[in-house]
C-alpha cells in the first residue's frame, strides 16, 4: 500500500499494469533491504529500475539497448566523479545488482514489453487495383513511320477527336433546346386559365363537328350525282 500511495497506483485491483509495477518496485526494495542498503542506496536503486523500465516500455527498446542504458546508470552511480557521477555503490554491489537485474527483469523482458505495449489495431480493407489505359492507342516500337505518314496519322486522330467533341456539343445543345421548349410549353400551359382552355377545346370540337358534317353532305351529293349518271347510262 505504501508503494501504491508513493507512485499513485491506486487502481492495482483493476489495472494489471499498476499491479505489475507495484510488484516490480516491491521486489526492488526488498532486494535493497536484503542487501543492507541505506536510504540513499535504496532510493538510487529504485530510481534506476524505474528509469530503465519506463525507457524500455516507453520507447520500445530492444533488450540490448535497454541493458546498455542500465549499465550506464549503474556506472554513473558507482564511479565518484562529481558532477558527472557519484560513487554510491561499490564495485561488488554494482556486480550483484547487475546479476539481479539479469536474472529478474531482463529475464522476463519480453513479458514486460508485452504487458506495457499499447494495443495497436489495424483494419485491412481489400481494394480492386486501378488500371489506367492510354487515351489513344500506341503503335508498337518495332513499327516505324515516315514523318509525313506520322503527321497524317496524328491529323486523323486530331480530326476524330474534334468530330467527337463537335457531336457531343451538338447533342448537348439539342438536349438543352428540347428542355427549353418543354419548359416554355409548361410555362405557357400554366399561364392559360383553365376556363380559356376549356372554351378553346369546346370551340375546336364544334369546328371539327361542323367540318365533318359538311364533308359528309358533300360526299352524299357526289354519290347521288354519280348514281344518277350510272342510271342514265344503263337506260
Number of C-alpha atoms within 13 angstroms, CB side, residue 50?
A: 13
Tell me the per-residue pLDDT of 63-80, one tens digit each, with 9 for 90 and over: 999 999 999 999 888 887
Contact 74, 98 (CB under 8 A): yes
Tell me the per-residue pLDDT of 177-220, one tens digit each, with 9 for 90 and over: 888 888 877 766 665 556 556 666 677 777 778 888 887 888 78
Q: Record the pTM.
A: 0.49
6 upstream amide cis, omega within 30 of 0: no
So what's the pLDDT on residue 190? 64
- Taking every pair of Cα atoms in the chain, the longest distance, rounded to a whole number of angstroms, is 161
Exposed / middle / buried, residue 190 (Cβ in 10 Å: 0-12, 13-18, 19+) = exposed
b/e per residue 107-123 (b: at least 16 CB within 10 A): eebeebbeebeeeeeee
Kindly report the CA angle at 195 between 190 and 200, in degrees rounded to 5? Answer: 90
Domain ranges of the chain: 2-116
Measured CA to CA, the distance from residue 92 to residue 97 in angstroms comes to: 9
* DSSP line for 91-116: HHHHHHHHHHHHHTTTTTHHHHHHHH
Q: What is the pLDDT along the chain (235 residues), one digit of tens a residue?
A: 577 777 778 787 788 888 888 888 889 999 999 999 999 999 999 999 999 999 999 888 899 999 999 999 998 888 878 777 778 899 999 999 999 999 999 999 999 988 888 776 777 777 777 776 666 655 555 566 677 777 888 888 888 998 898 899 889 888 888 888 888 777 666 655 565 566 666 777 777 788 888 878 887 887 787 777 777 776 6
Amino acid at each position: 500500500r505504501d508503494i501504491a500511495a508513493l507512485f499513485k497506483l491506486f487502481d492495482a485491483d483493476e489495472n494489471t499494469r499498476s499491479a505489475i509495477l507495484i510488484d516490480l518496485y516491491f521486489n526492488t526494495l526488498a532486494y535493497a533491504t536484503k542487501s543492507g542498503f541505506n536510504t540513499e542506496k535504496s532510493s538510487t536503486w529504485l530510481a534506476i529500475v524505474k528509469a530503465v523500465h519506463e525507457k524500455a516500455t516507453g520507447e520500445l527498446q530492444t533488450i540490448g539497448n535497454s541493458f546498455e542504458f542500465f549499465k550506464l546508470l549503474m556506472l554513473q552511480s558507482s564511479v565518484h566523479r562529481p558532477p558527472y557521477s557519484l560513487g554510491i555503490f561499490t564495485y561488488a554491489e554494482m556486480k550483484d545488482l547487475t546479476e539481479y537485474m539479469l536474472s529478474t527483469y531482463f529475464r522476463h523482458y519480453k513479458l514486460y514489453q508485452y504487458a506495457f505495449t499499447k494495443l495497436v489495431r489495424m483494419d485491412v480493407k481489400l481494394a480492386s487495383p486501378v488500371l489506367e489505359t492510354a487515351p489513344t492507342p500506341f503503335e508498337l516500337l518495332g513499327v516505324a513511320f515516315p514523318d509525313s505518314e506520322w503527321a497524317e496519322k496524328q491529323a486523323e486522330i486530331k480530326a476524330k477527336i474534334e468530330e467527337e467533341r463537335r457531336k457531343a456539343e451538338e447533342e448537348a445543345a439539342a438536349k438543352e433546346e428540347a428542355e427549353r421548349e418543354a419548359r416554355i410549353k409548361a410555362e405557357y400551359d400554366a399561364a392559360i386559365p383553365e376556363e380559356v382552355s376549356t372554351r378553346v377545346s369546346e370551340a375546336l370540337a364544334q369546328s371539327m363537328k361542323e367540318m365533318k358534317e359538311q364533308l359528309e353532305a358533300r360526299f352524299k351529293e357526289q354519290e347521288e350525282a354519280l348514281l344518277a349518271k350510272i342510271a342514265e347510262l344503263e337506260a
